[in-house]
Amino acid sequence: MKGRVRLKALADEVRAIAQREAPQWVVRQRAIFREMEQWLDRAQWNPKLRQPEIAAMVVEAIEHRRQRGDWRLFEYVVMPTHVHLFGEIDGPSVKETLEDFKRWTGHQAGKILSENGSRFWQVEWFDHWSRSDEEDQKIAKYIRDNPVKAGLVKTHTEWSYGSW
């Protein structure tokens, strides 16, 4: 629980900064993302996404929503404990689109796992706005490198659950 407590403290610091354009807001926001990623890569509390049937179902749901026009994704990866999506939402709102995705995939995962009624996803999610083509490139590379950084594969193309 140390990780969650630390992340909550960092999030409280970010919320206390009045202007999102302030340099200290950006620095704090990036610190949260770095720490959250490290924590998620080490987490063992929800390895259900590690199961090939579950990971494949989530990828299928991501692709279905892309084809349906809910979002335009540039990169994504399904990791053993979390998912990264990088793109633009074409639906009514980020909140509604992600809640629909989480509700459907959570229900499907419950059926696969025979755990109807148990919560599959965390309630919260973390979003980040890209403000330039250069930042877009960094985010896409970060997502591709995520399975490598987590020690799951040597190159991102070896990981079966990504947009590549």
Residue where the block lists tokens 């985010």: 139
- The shares of helix, strand and coil residues in the chain, as percent rounded to the nearest 5, are 60, 10, 30
Q: Up-side HSE of residue 79: CA atoms within 13 Å toward CB?
A: 26
The topology under which CATH files domain 47-158 is Alpha-Beta Plaits (3.30.70)
Mean pLDDT of 138-145: 94
Mean pLDDT of 147-151: 91
Q: What gap in Å lies between CA 19 and CA 150, rounded to an integer? A: 33
DSSP state of 162: B
pLDDT tens column, 16-34: 776 766 777 677 777 776 7
What radius of gyration do the chain's Cα atoms show? Answer: 16
Q: Kindly tell me if the per-residue pLDDT of 116 is higher than 80.
A: no
Residue 161 in this model has a pLDDT that exceeds 70: yes
Residue 117 zone, left/alpha/beta (φ > 0; ψ -120 to 50; rest): left
Confidence of residue 2 (pLDDT cuts 50, 70, 90): low
Q: Which residues contact 139 (CB under 8 A, 6 or more apart)?
A: 75, 86, 128, 130
Percent of the chain with pLDDT over 70: 84
The pLDDT, as a whole number, for residue 50 is: 86
Between the alpha carbon of residue 106 and those of residues 110, 129, 161, the distances in Å are 6, 26, 17
User: What pLDDT, on the 0 to 100 scale, is given for residue 9?
Assistant: 77
- Under a CB-based contact definition with an 8 Å cutoff, are residues 152 and 78 in contact? no
Q: What is the pLDDT of residues 76-115, one digit of tens each?
A: 999 988 899 999 998 788 899 999 999 999 999 999 988 8
